[in-house]
Structure 1
Amino acid sequence: MLTLTRRRGDVGRVFLAGILALLCCISPARAEDGHDLWLRYAPVGPSKVEGYRSALGNVVAPDRTPTQRVAREELRRGVAGLLGSEPRFRASPAGDAALVLGTPTSAPWLAPLVHELEGLGDEGYLLRRTRLDGRDALVVAARRDIGVLYGVFHLLRLVQAGASLDGLDVSEVPRVKLRLLNHWDNLDGYVERGYAGASLWDWHTLPGWEDPRYTDYARANASIGINGTVLNNVNADALSLSPAYLRKAAALADVFRPYGIRVYLSARFSAPMELGGLDTADPLNPDVRQWWRTKAEEIYALIPDFGGFLVKANSEGQPGPQDYGRTHADGANLLADALAPHGGVVMWRAFVYAHDVPEDRAKQAYNEFVGLDGAFRDNVVVQVKNGPIDFQPREPFHPLFGAMPRTPLMMEFQITKEYLGFATHLVYLGPLYEEVLRADTHARGPGSTVARVVDGSLESHALSGIAGVANIGDDRTWSGSHFDQANWYAFGRLAWNPNQSARDIAVDWVAMTFSPAPDVVAPIVAMMMGSREAAVDYMTPLGLHHLMARGHHYGPGPWVVGGPRADWTSVYYHRADRDGIGFDRGTRGSDAVSQYAPAVARTLDDLAQVPDTLLLWFHHVPWQHRLHSGRPLWGELVHRYTRGVAYVERMQATWEGLRGKIDAPRHAHVAAFLRIQRDEAHWWRDASVAYFQSINGLPLPAGEAPPPHPLAYYQSLQFPYAPGDGR
């Protein structure tokens, strides 16, 4: 029992002891709040410590440049966390030094590797067990400092996964030149289609205060090879190009530069009018051209390695060259000419809407851009979404891939899950990315994959790129959930090498994020690999698309009709009636199939050959049409809705089986989100079945549970403050 007559010093000591005890209790939970991402550097198993320590304990590494110092610090941080002891840094490989970092310039003892390193370009690296000065050594070597940093991250990834370093011989070169995140962040801190809180960028306190999270962000991106970031929304505010905001962007560029990350900005096409006081933004007007040249000079004076502009023009109300009777090429070339003297690029988005509702929205980008092939400057890359509509759970690959051989095309993926359950649904996007990248365009015969278009190898383009719409905010998890971090990670790895395996990437991510133990890795990877297909099943099976509620895209809305544009409604896309369902894009319909190479078009146009996964994307099919499963369409549709729900319930059971193998805070967080996903998957299934049954009047297939509520109930639900909608 405590006495009330303790002396003041005793009370202070008791209070301090209590605080320390409290900190000891809460520190593990705080350490596992998701902030460390896949860079946790959790201690390796005791049996491996000494082996790794002998390879990593003594290090030769230069520290004369910012990037060299970053590489040393990352290695120090990694080794200390993984092995429990700090590495000893040496000035030369004499003595017992076992790990050597550097370039032939910064570490002269790597000179014997100079010819081999020449083939690795500016960002490639070599990891190798070799002999240096007659001694065994592990080498991380590259032509440039940034390659060394990438190599350090690769080495630490191997250690986190428990891989052996014996006989190590790895040579890596990025396949894609521009590997960028696109942030749809507004200057007021709101993130369009963001589900992880407010913007990471605190524009109000920049440039005076550089939040430490900016450095954490740069580390995370460098660890997966991302080398650029577009700071602001494609629905751009001209103020982003004003002097005050350029100084803020320059402060971020200074933080990111040692990590090999260039800053880009989304440019509003009408900025010469809004900032410069001109009465036109016509790309052929001499005053407009001069304004952009002057603006480019201003930017490069502040940010010497500025990457360039991303532009959304003449789409969803954004201004563009078509306002003046000019083409997309005219608009892009205006900016390209201004950036060219400084080495900058223009990424011109092909996501466009006509002012009038087109016959088929899926055809519009192809119709507007394919005739401009070869009309763009050499420093322009056309940025194309993975599919022809808008980041749907499943789409065919965009027909522009393979259709513009004289123009570099840059892939645009979405990492944030605007149409895939936001942050609360566990949907690993690696399989989606892989599916698109491996799709064969047949542009130059079999093997003309989308990946080969994007990496430039199909047409020998020097300029290549992949962009991902970021899912990053100020949430401690960065992405709004622990598993959404995997999509950021998978994007970066596939941007580096589009031919990698989504499953292998998932294995690495799980090992680093949760545990390398096989009884943890195997079940989690199994969950992840089927999660995207499950979401397709319970949201948009068999090629259905754009069935989400209006505006915020939260939850099912297959009944959505009316409004300013038909192609903003669900009924425009599914076209369900008493006789059948699906959008006829075959040669007897909108003929969108003919935008693909003949070999692809023939398959998609033929009901007997088109994959069931894309059936209703390309065909209006009777409800009784037999699918490859042997079921009639209606039976298969309901079956897939139910199958998707069942998969989520199996994910719940798998995750529950991992209790005690995952730290309690993260286990509880994921379990709660899986409950949300299960409830919303049921909602999707039941609302969709109720709606389509009201259209076709058919009984439910035997064994299928009826929706628990009438259709009117689902139609009455309203969510005016669902997150992520545009303002």
Structure 2
Amino acid sequence: MRVLLFLASLGLVAAENGLDGWLRYAPLPCSQQCKSKLPANIVALNATETSPVYVAGTELQQGLESIYGTKTGVSHDKCKSSSSSVVVGTLEQYRKTCGAVKDIPDLEEDGFWIDTRNNRIRILGSNEKSVLYGTFEYLSMLAQGNFSEVAYATNPVAPIRWVNQWDNMDGSIERGYGGPSIFFKNGAIVDDLTRVKQYARLLASVRVNAVVINNVNANATLLTPTNIKGLARVADVFRPYGIQVGVSLNFASPQTFGGLDTYDPLDASVINWWSNITDQIYDEVPDMAGYLIKASSEGQPGPETYNRTLADGANLFAHALEPHGGIVMFRAFVYNQLNESNWDADRANAAVNFFKELDGKFEENVVVQIKYGPIDFQVREPASPLFANLLNTSTAIELQVTQEYLGQQSHLLYLPPLWKGIFDFDLRVDEKPSLVRDVYSGKRFNRKLGGSTAVVNVGTNTTWLGSHLAMSNLYAYGRLAWDPTDDSEGMLQDWIRLTFGLDKTVLNAITKMSMESWPAYENYSGNLGIQTLTDILYTHFGPNPASQDNNGWGQWTRADHTSIGMDRTVSNGTGFSGQYPSEVASVYENIETTPDNLLLWFHHVDYTHRLHSGKTVIQHFYDAHYDGADTAQTFLTQWESLKSKIDKERYEHVLRRFEYQAGHSIVWRDAIVDFYHNLSGIADTSKRVDHHPWRIEAESMYLDGYETYTVSPFETASGAIAIVTSSNDTVGTATTKIKFPSGTYDLAVNYYDLYGGQSQWKVYLNNKKVGEWIGNAEDYLSHTPSIYLDGHSATRINFRDIKVKKGDTLKIVGTPDGVEPAPLDYISLLPKGIVD
């Protein structure tokens, strides 16, 4: 019998800061029927306090009390066969203590079985950590009011289910948007590991089994004796949750840290040095997962310095780890600087060019870690063809939970639909079904190792990632690492119920916003496979399409005044399409069969080229960017409808992000459409681009203490001009007469919020203050801030329901602070229902 406690209203609880994530175990009412379903006692078949089975018992005890107010005792010494008990343990422990187990399907490594039939709950695993996985699964059911009678086994698709942290020894995190490191500070492991324990709980609950705690751009000082002992303390915290610790290494460490005169991977002294370091680590951390290596890329040292192959480099570490059972995760993110004037040059070719010829030359404990696409975590890429070119080498897919190019947790973007598009892609190796998920799991090419990893980058912020809603991606990543066929919307809704409760209105609203978020972001940030048109030379956050070209990084669009897109065909371009097996290559080689959403990835076309939809490329750009920004406006209104149903602290936190995203999506929209309108000279058939009838440019207002400023890139300011105070000590005033018809308007002000100062602005209508704000986004938003007037710092604020009369005087007074000169771009007076 299935009992679901969906309640129309649960009433508001005390404010929550997000620290418990989806393990908050919020109280639920419990009827007599509900109470009859709850276990009266708990048996955890291991009394050792550091064992995952013991932890499972403790989690059950605390979870039952938190959710249903039930105080349940835990015993360890004998098996209670009575009804209303829950027994947790390994199959071996259960057989030894409780007797034979019947009708359990085969359990693979880390697999578990749950049986809740007949008022008796058994959670049994193939090993101790899998018992904990099953326990969290059961608690997840209870926390969602689900008392279904079930009996099923589940096994992971692959043995590697890792996360990477790009934490630096000084406590900063590269591409981290949730505060400083929970692991490092001032060059050492932190003393207080309380947050590490909570992170361990979150990861174990979604069945992640290893964490690499330091940046792939590694600092060799992690290898000091003191820090190795610190690493042991971290491992001690993770171990009871079934999670192993791994570390990233700097390839040149034998020379830069060890004092040798070389780091040649075939040099005997280097081999010996790494062997000794590895032994030292395993003396302190006997179950270390292994090493993550980034080499020969983006300025990092590697084996190519000595004309050695990448396999030589990987195998150096494999030999050191082999006696200890460790794994080498060797990143395939290897590429060189390129010259764009060479039509054949293409960064997308790099992974296959570097690794294909090495297939089969890696040791068995080496796993090549491959980004899901050939470039770098873009909003849309084709699946990396390297998955189809390593038939004799273990692989893992690399995802990114931290939204580096994708809004940096200041924009909502639910990532599983993007990931699953890659997982489900059929590479057709040897003209046979070859789904990407079957390749990286090891299934397709009969590899024992394989799996997935994700760059997560949680920090000390209580929201972990800088945004409450961004945690849906970490939750879903764990679920998909276990089973990549899991349903995107179903996972999301489990997370919503666990995080925000059982109210259907909340469930429906967050589901709708989240499922629309990736298409919306793609629409306003770059589509048709052109990549995310962000600034790749600076923060990777706001718009800067020109930065994509005329650089050595190879994330090119090859846009000019008549045409756009990378020609990656074999017949006339870079040859990238030929890296796929023939059936896939033929689809991408032919412009007629290439899907529209990857057209500009594979083909260079005129702006007037017609898509399968019938639109021209340039008109699609215009329409998509307006559509995406329009969708982002609805996120704010949908969230506001939940005000009475979400606790105040989390409601306000998310509200500010949606207010920001609504404004910044318009910054994105205008920057991209203005850039390509200026470049192509082709008008928008809907007459929206460069046409803003409700907008008043700041530079057209009467200025006192303000002066004009030419913004770069030009498209990140309306009309390319903003205003700034004439000095950092001067208060600026911008005044204008209202020429619009009398009525009630929403007042939108576009301004720039720079890092290094917190200017203040006040808005007056006929000398009556109608609004004010402070430029303090760096204090409450998560993205990398900017010190320039550009697409990263551009934003807007809205004041609703302002009654104005034609001829009224509108005045904005800006007070600079620090390096921030109270910058303004424009104001808009918007009638109801109008998006600027």
Q: TM-score, normalised by structure 1?
A: 0.91
Candidates 380, 395, 398, aligned match of 1:394 = 380
Any unmatched runs of 5+ in structure 1? 1-26
Candidates 457, 464, 469, aligned match of 1:483 = 469
Between the two proteins, the alignment pairs up a number of residues equal to 688
Candidates 361, 364, 377, aligned match of 1:375 = 361
- Stretch of structure 1 that moved more, 61-70 or 656-665: 61-70
Deviation string 1:38-65 (CA, Å, 9 cap, x unpaired) is: 0111122444x74255332322223412
Paired position in structure 2 for 1:21: none
CA separation of 1:433 and 1:110: change in aligned 2, threshold 3 A: farther
Q: Is the Cα–Cα contact under 8 Å of residues 562 and 607 in structure 2 kept in the other structure?
A: yes
Deviation string 1:461-497 (CA, Å, 9 cap, x unpaired) is: 1011211001300001011000111111111110111
State how far apart, in whole Å, the 1-side matches of 2:650 and 2:754 are. Answer: 28
CA separation of 1:143 and 1:567: change in aligned 2, threshold 3 A: closer
The answer to whether 1:700 aligns with 2:684 is yes
- Cα RMSD (Å): 2.3
Any unmatched runs of 5+ in structure 2? 1-11, 698-710, 721-751, 757-777, 787-836
Deviation string 1:203-224 (CA, Å, 9 cap, x unpaired) is: 4596683421111110000000
Paired position in structure 1 for 2:116: 129
The answer to whether 1:98 aligns with 2:100 is no
State how far apart, in whole Å, the 2-side matches of 1:82 and 1:670 are. Answer: 25
The answer to whether 1:36 aligns with 2:20 is yes
Q: Is the Cα–Cα contact under 8 Å of residues 385 and 411 in structure 1 kept in the other structure?
A: yes
Q: Is the Cα–Cα contact under 8 Å of residues 45 and 89 in structure 2 kept in the other structure?
A: yes
- Stretch of structure 1 that moved more, 274-283 or 51-60: 51-60
Paired position in structure 2 for 1:623: 607
> How far off is 1:92 after superposition?
2.9
Paired position in structure 1 for 2:104: 116
CA separation of 1:503 and 1:444: change in aligned 2, threshold 3 A: farther
Q: Is the Cα–Cα contact under 8 Å of residues 104 and 113 in structure 2 kept in the other structure?
A: no
> How far off is 1:130 after superposition?
4.7
State how far apart, in whole Å, the 2-side matches of 1:208 and 1:599 are. Answer: 52
> How far off is 1:608 after superposition?
1.5
Q: Is the Cα–Cα contact under 8 Å of residues 58 and 96 in structure 1 kept in the other structure?
A: no
Q: Secondary structure at the match of 1:112?
A: coil
Candidates 161, 164, 168, aligned match of 1:182 = 164
Q: How does 1:220-239 map to 2 (within 5 A)?
A: 220-239=202-221
Paired position in structure 2 for 1:500: 486
Q: Is the Cα–Cα contact under 8 Å of residues 45 and 87 in structure 2 kept in the other structure?
A: no
Read off the aligned partner of 1:161 and give its amino acid letter.
Answer: Q
Candidates 228, 231, 240, aligned match of 1:249 = 231
Paired position in structure 2 for 1:418: 404
Q: Secondary structure at the match of 1:553?
A: coil
Q: How does 1:147-546 map to 2 (within 5 A)?
A: 147-166=130-149, 168-203=150-185, 209-357=191-339, 359-546=345-532
State how far apart, in whole Å, the 2-side matches of 1:706 and 1:423 are. Answer: 29
Q: Secondary structure at the match of 1:541?
A: coil
State how far apart, in whole Å, the 1-side matches of 2:548 and 2:59 are. Answer: 54
Paired position in structure 2 for 1:80: 65
Q: Secondary structure at the match of 2:546?
A: coil
Candidates 636, 648, 653, aligned match of 1:669 = 653
Candidates 557, 562, 584, aligned match of 2:544 = 557
Paired position in structure 2 for 1:62: 45
Read off the aligned partner of 1:413 and give its amino acid letter.
Answer: L
Q: How does 1:711-726 map to 2 (within 5 A)?
A: 712=714, 714=716, 724=784
Deviation string 1:164-188 (CA, Å, 9 cap, x unpaired) is: 322x112111112111111000000
> How far off is 1:98 after superposition?
2.5
Deviation string 1:308-353 (CA, Å, 9 cap, x unpaired) is: 1100001010000000000000000011001101101101101012
State how far apart, in whole Å, the 2-side matches of 1:417 and 1:225 are. Answer: 22
The structure with the greater share of residues assigned to helix is 1
The structure with the greater share of residues assigned to strand is 2
Paired position in structure 2 for 1:582: 565
Read off the aligned partner of 2:64 and give its amino acid letter.
Answer: V
CA separation of 1:94 and 1:398: change in aligned 2, threshold 3 A: closer
State how far apart, in whole Å, the 2-side matches of 1:363 and 1:94 are. Answer: 61
- Stretch of structure 1 that moved more, 441-450 or 315-324: 441-450
Read off the aligned partner of 2:385 and give its amino acid letter.
Answer: P
CA separation of 1:629 and 1:157: change in aligned 2, threshold 3 A: same
> How far off is 1:373 after superposition?
0.4
Paired position in structure 2 for 1:18: none
Q: Is the Cα–Cα contact under 8 Å of residues 410 and 465 in structure 1 kept in the other structure?
A: yes
Paired position in structure 2 for 1:11: none
> How far off is 1:115 after superposition?
8.1
- Stretch of structure 1 that moved more, 444-453 or 221-230: 444-453
Q: Secondary structure at the match of 2:538?
A: coil
- Stretch of structure 1 that moved more, 80-89 or 351-360: 351-360
Q: Secondary structure at the match of 1:86?
A: coil
State how far apart, in whole Å, the 1-side matches of 2:576 and 2:527 are. Answer: 20
State how far apart, in whole Å, the 2-side matches of 1:643 and 1:600 are. Answer: 31
Aligned-pair identity (%): 37
- Stretch of structure 1 that moved more, 712-721 or 360-369: 712-721
Read off the aligned partner of 1:392 and give its amino acid letter.
Answer: Q
Deviation string 1:128-159 (CA, Å, 9 cap, x unpaired) is: 1357xxxx521111132211110000001111
Read off the aligned partner of 1:165 and give its amino acid letter.
Answer: S
State how far apart, in whole Å, the 1-side matches of 2:164 and 2:630 are. Answer: 34
Paired position in structure 2 for 1:71: 56
CA separation of 1:179 and 1:87: change in aligned 2, threshold 3 A: same
> How far off is 1:515 after superposition?
1.5
Candidates 122, 127, 145, aligned match of 1:144 = 127
Candidates 570, 577, 587, aligned match of 1:593 = 577
Q: Is the Cα–Cα contact under 8 Å of residues 185 and 231 in structure 1 kept in the other structure?
A: yes
> How far off is 1:398 after superposition?
0.6
Q: Secondary structure at the match of 1:198?
A: coil
- Stretch of structure 1 that moved more, 283-292 or 647-656: 647-656
Q: Is the Cα–Cα contact under 8 Å of residues 348 and 382 in structure 1 kept in the other structure?
A: yes
Q: Is the Cα–Cα contact under 8 Å of residues 690 and 707 in structure 1 kept in the other structure?
A: no
Q: Is the Cα–Cα contact under 8 Å of residues 161 and 478 in structure 2 kept in the other structure?
A: yes
Deviation string 1:348-373 (CA, Å, 9 cap, x unpaired) is: 10101225548101101110101100
State how far apart, in whole Å, the 1-side matches of 2:228 and 2:102 are. Answer: 39
CA separation of 1:720 and 1:319: change in aligned 2, threshold 3 A: farther
Read off the aligned partner of 1:77 and give its amino acid letter.
Answer: Q
Paired position in structure 2 for 1:19: none
Q: Is the Cα–Cα contact under 8 Å of residues 629 and 662 in structure 2 kept in the other structure?
A: yes
Q: Is the Cα–Cα contact under 8 Å of residues 54 and 98 in structure 1 kept in the other structure?
A: no
Read off the aligned partner of 1:88 and give its amino acid letter.
Answer: G
CA separation of 1:719 and 1:398: change in aligned 2, threshold 3 A: farther
CA separation of 1:77 and 1:622: change in aligned 2, threshold 3 A: same
Q: Secondary structure at the match of 1:543?
A: coil
Q: TM-score, normalised by structure 2?
A: 0.79
Q: Is the Cα–Cα contact under 8 Å of residues 104 and 114 in structure 1 kept in the other structure?
A: no
The answer to whether 1:687 aligns with 2:671 is yes
Q: Is the Cα–Cα contact under 8 Å of residues 103 and 142 in structure 1 kept in the other structure?
A: yes
State how far apart, in whole Å, the 2-side matches of 1:452 and 1:609 are. Answer: 25
Candidates 89, 94, 99, aligned match of 2:74 = 89
State how far apart, in whole Å, the 1-side matches of 2:411 and 2:649 are. Answer: 18
Q: Secondary structure at the match of 1:566?
A: coil
